[in-house]
Amino acid sequence: MSIQTPSDFPDTDAATVTGPERPASEPEAKGLSQGQIVRKKFFDNTGAIISLVVFAVVFILAFTSVGFAGIPGWWKYNHTEFLPLVNGGAPTVTGPFSWGDHPFGQDSIGRDYFAMTMRGTQNSIIIMFIIGALAGLVGVVIGACSGYFRGWPEAVLMRFTDVIIIIPVVLAAATLGEAVNRFVGPGAQIWLLGLFLGLVLWTGLARLVRGEFLTLREREFVDAAKIAGASNTRIIFKHILPNAVGVIIVNTTLLMSSAILLETALSYIGFGVKAPDVSLGLIISQNQEAFQTRPWLFWFPGLFIVLICLCINFIGDGLRDAFDPRQKKFSASRAKESGKPAAA
């Protein structure tokens, strides 16, 4: 994501007037550095913390169980082996510690569904992060530059955005799928799919960031910073960006979770990740007919999609609230509550 320097955001409203130093990081009476404030706010947010933990568990499970990048995992099967059907392919998990042979069951030709789901989760997370990082970066840079500089950079960048906006994403993905099939081979398709989707999905974010910048650049503290002699880069990254962080984070996290769904949709119409590799979207749409007869083929990948989406969004929410330099009232009331036992 685009927010990489959290440690020294100044408290924008007041601090910039006093000069280019970083008063926030200087020890004051009950002074905390911006980073500390952000961290404290974030860790105070129960929803976000729970989500972070859940997501970490999912992440670790997915990457260690079936291995990653040639490193073998601890799970005994992989997602391509055909195995004899055990228990008619139904899940064998009976409790948290008695998983049985095929905890998530097997698909119709006997592949272990746990291995498939884990591998799919891995791939979906990879796609999600590539899209989030790439689209976030491109969107913020283009949006910020055009919103801040206006004039010809804005005209050029926004018209470029327009061109990208009107090219249907599905078409781009379908064409890419073909190209991958033809030239690259299936190994790299996850990365390329993420890369390519990231390169077309930044447009909404760019426009939103530009909108924020258009408003924010007219604000008093920007004028103040200019008078104080701050450079454009500094104003963009230190003064305006922290104020736009809410919109950026909400948008990027929504984008990341919708990336998983977009991949699902693409798989559904036959243009997403292609076999023999798997993604959550692919296995869920391949088995959509099994909804009533073998629901586990649906529930497990579905559960992971929902888990990832929920976690990402709650984490994003927590980050948003933590970064928002103006958010005082609510954290104050929370601070009061946290004195009580078992609050929240």
Partner 1 sequence: MVTYIVRRLVTAVLILFGASFVVYQLTALSGDPLEDLRASNAPNRDQLIQARTELLDLNTPAPLRYFGWLAGAAKCIVPFAATCDLGSSIQGEAVTTSLSRAMGNTITLVATATVLAIIIGISLGIITALRQYSGLDYGVTFMSFLFFSLPIFWLAVLLKEFGAIGFNNFLDDPDIPPSTIAVVAIASGLIWALFASKSWKRKGIAFVLGAVVAAVLLFLLDLVGWFANPGLGPVVILVTGVGIAFGIVLLTAGLRNRKALYSSLIMVALGLVAYYVVNPVLNAATIWMIIILAVITVLVGLGVGYAMGGYDRSQSMRAAALTGLLMGFLIVVDRFMVTWPSYVSNPRVRGRPIATVGAETPGLEGTFWINGRDTFTHLLLPTLALLLASLASYSRYSRASMLEIMNMDYIRTARAKGLSERTVVMRHAFRNALIPLATLVAFDIGALIGGAIITEQVFAFSGMGQLFVQALQRTDPDPIMGFFLVAGILALVFNLVADIAYSVLDPRVRVKA
Partner 2 sequence: MRFGRTSKAVGVAAVAALALSACAANTGTETTEEGTEGEATGGNIRVVEVNAFSSFNSSTSEGNVDINGKIAYATHSGFVYINNDLEVVKNEDFGTMEVLSEDPLSVKYTVNEGVTWSDGEPVDGGDLLLAWAIESGYFNDSTTDDAGEVVSGATYFDYAGDTSGLGLTELPEIGEDGRSITLNYSEPFADYEVAFGLMSEGGIDTPAHVLAEKGGLADEDALIELINTTPAGDPESPVERPEIQALADFWNTGFDTKSLPTDPSLFLSNGPFIASAITPDQSMTLTRNEDYDWGPIPKVDEITVRYIGEAPAQVQALQNGEVDIIAPQASADTVEQLEGLEGVTVEQGNQLSYDHLDLNFSGVFEDENVREAFMKTVPRQQLVDTIVKKINPDAAPLDSQLFLTDQEPYEETAANNGSDAYAEVDIEGAKELLAGATPEVRIMYNRDNPNRLNSYTLIAESAAQAGFKIVDGGLGSSDWGAALGNGTYDATIFGWINSGVGVSGVPQIFKTANGSNFNGFSSPEADALMDELIVTTDPEEQDRIQIEIDKLIWDSKYGLPLFQVPGVDAYSDNVTGIEYMPNQTGVWWNFWDWQVVQ
Q: Of 264 and 287, which CB lies nearer to partner 2 in the complex structure? A: 287
Tell me the three state secondary structure of residue 219. Answer: coil
CA distances from 179 to 15, 30, 120, 202 (A): 52, 58, 22, 22
Does position 137 bind partner 1 by CB under 8 A?
no
Q: Is 4 exposed, middle or buried (0-12, 13-18, 19+ CB in 10 A)?
A: exposed
Does position 87 bind partner 2 by CB under 8 A?
no
Q: What is the DSSP string of 90-114?
A: -----SSS---S-TT-B-TT--BHH
Does position 267 bind partner 2 by CB under 8 A?
no
Does position 288 bind partner 2 by CB under 8 A?
yes
Cα separation, 69 vs 83, whole angstroms: 23
Position among 119, 207, 238, 239 found at the interface with partner 1 (CB under 8 A): 207
Q: Which stretch binds partner 1 (CB under 8 A): 57-65, 93-101, 221-229, 252-260?
A: 252-260
> Within 10 A of 224 (CB to CB), how many other CB atoms are there?
15
- Backbone dihedral angles phi then psi of residue 215, each to the nearest 5 degrees: -75, -45
Q: Which stretch binds partner 2 (CB under 8 A): 1-9, 53-61, 281-289, 319-327?
A: 281-289
Does position 88 bind partner 2 by CB under 8 A?
no
Does position 281 bind partner 1 by CB under 8 A?
yes
Q: Is the dihedral of CA 47, 121, 262, 70 positive or negative?
A: positive
Shortest distance, position 214 Cβ to partner 1, whole Å:
5
Q: Which stretch binds partner 1 (CB under 8 A): 15-23, 53-61, 67-75, 319-327?
A: 319-327
Position among 162, 178, 223, 337 found at the interface with partner 2 (CB under 8 A): 178
Among candidate residues 22, 33, 91, the one with its CA nearest the CA of residue 303: 91
**Residue 276 binding: pick among partner 1, partner 2, none (C-beta 5-8 Å cut-off by kind):** partner 2
Residue 25 DSSP symbol = G
Does position 211 bind partner 1 by CB under 8 A?
yes
Query: Cα torsion at 161, 164, 168, 170 (round to 10°)?
Result: -110
Shortest distance, position 49 Cβ to partner 1, whole Å:
13
- Do the beta carbons of residue 235 and residue 219 sit within 8 Å? no
Position among 286, 304, 312, 323 found at the interface with partner 2 (CB under 8 A): 286
Position among 328, 339, 341, 342 found at the interface with partner 1 (CB under 8 A): 328
Shortest distance, position 220 Cβ to partner 1, whole Å:
11
Tell me the three state secondary structure of residue 67. Answer: coil
Q: Is the dihedral of CA 281, 287, 292, 293 positive or negative?
A: negative
User: Where along the sequence are the contacts to partner 1 (CB under 8 A)?
Assistant: 47, 150-151, 155, 159, 162-163, 165-168, 170-172, 174-175, 177-179, 204, 207-208, 211-212, 214-215, 218, 246-247, 250-251, 254, 257-258, 260-261, 264-265, 268-271, 281, 284-285, 288, 291-292, 298, 302, 305-306, 308-310, 313-314, 317, 320-321, 324, 326-330, 334, 344
